[in-house]
Amino acid sequence: MYRKTVKFTPEDIEVFKDKLLSWAQQFEEVAWLDSNNYHRRYSSFDSIMAFDALTSIQTDTYDAFEKLKEYQSVSHDWLFGYLSYDLKNDVENLKSGNFDGLEFPDLYFFQPKKIVTIKEGVAEFHYLPMVDDEVEADYEEINSFQESSTYETGNTGDVKIKLRIHKEEYMAKVKKMLDYIHRGDIYEASFCQEFYAEDTELAPLRSYKHLNEISKPPFATYLKIRDQYLLSASPERYLRKEGSKVLSQPIKGTAKRAQFLKADVQLVNSLRNNPKERSENIMIVDLVRNDLSRVAKKGTVEVEELCKVYTFEQVHQLISTVKAIVPDETNPIDIIKATFPMGSMTGAPKISAMKIIEELEETKRGLYSGTVGYFTPVGDFDFNVVIRSILYNATKKYISYSVGGAITARSIPEKEYEECLIKAKAMREVLEGKLNNQKV
């Protein structure tokens, strides 16, 4: 679909980005994806904003991928939105019966009237014909926007967090998962737990900005769908397609940051050479290779990087990069369906791991460990993994964040619990208003 494109060069691109995000809160649908200038080889934009839906699709898990495929084929336009983890039930004969405090739709995408892309200091406005006469006025409004104009009620920093699974129960569940591993049912599984707050109002935009400031991740997301919000500091890419090239960058293996450089370097080297952390990552790389081989041209699936350490504000991570070539006629939705849910959030073998996850976890994952991203009009796409994220249902006044880790035969329950607390640190600081290092 045709869009009018107008380029601007703001005086200060970081100030412009901040004002753009605040100004866009007047709309019911907002999707903001920000790399935080974390430049990698595989990137189309530094940031991208979509807002003001012309059309949308919302559905449960039943036949969800086919419904999305039909919606995309009809629109032939940019689409922004998410796939929840529970679309596993559309891919395989699985079910989701755990508690759901958030009640987000299982799938949601929208076709925006207005898109703003930012790259190398240039802001490009891509507007549909019915609103293309608003480009210049919107740009002026954004530049003159005052932060005080964004009125948000709700908490920022004094939320009282509860645990869905307490420490003793967590230990027991990990031991049960280890029993499955030792019995040979699975090799690895991602086990997650929820932290939550009820009857609590949150100021979502201010909370997102705080979370992003202390994490500065390469796949940050602010998603607003009416009264439902995702505030994500994700470091992980799920899947990207550009032309016939597809790549996935699974994360498995985590180490905390140290205050001083020498100690931090030691932690990097320890993570790089840790047999347990490397085995976690390599098992998921094998799973991703297998998933991509379903849709790739024969012999094109390859591992470009294996267990490379990447450093973020809060943690060090082991990241691998897996690439493949797909036939030109392959539908982009079929590529996602063949690899969904992402291996880093399931385990191996995948179906067995998902069944055990459902049995042992207490909460429906929903958008957590799902994916947010976009499709272009020509069928390219880029999606993250929804981790290190706060989810908020404003109508229900329910706040949730979940964290987890890969359980393997080498896992020590106490260490796994400590890793969860490391991953939860940024979200907890945002919600409680202080760094909380105490054990819970």
Alpha carbon 205 to chain centroid distance?
17
- Which residue, among 367, 330, 426, 399, has the nearest Cα to 106 in the 3D structure? 367
Alpha carbon 34 to chain centroid distance?
12
**398 beta partners:** 393
Query: What would the two tokens of residue 147 be?
Result: 């932060």
> Is 329 part of the annotated catalytic residue set?
no
> Is 95 part of the annotated catalytic residue set?
no
Is-contact 89 370, C-beta < 8 A?
A: no
Report the alpha-carbon distance of residue 302 to residue 285 in Å, rounded: 10
Report the alpha-carbon distance of residue 99 to residue 329 in Å, rounded: 40
What pairing do the DSSP bridges indicate for beta strands 237-242 and 162-163? Answer: unpaired
Report the alpha-carbon distance of residue 415 to residue 408 in Å, rounded: 12
Per-residue DSSP letter, 275: H
Rounded to 5°, angle at Cα 403 from 402 and 404: 135
Catalytic residue among 29, 194, 236, 416: 236
Rounded to 5°, angle at Cα 33 from 327 and 288: 40
Q: How many CB atoms lie within 10 A of CB 86?
A: 26
Catalytic residue among 19, 241, 252, 364: 252
Report the alpha-carbon distance of residue 77 to residue 377 in Å, rounded: 4
- Written as one letter, the residue type at 161 is I
- E strand or H helix at 415, and its extent? helix 413-432
Catalytic residues: 236, 252
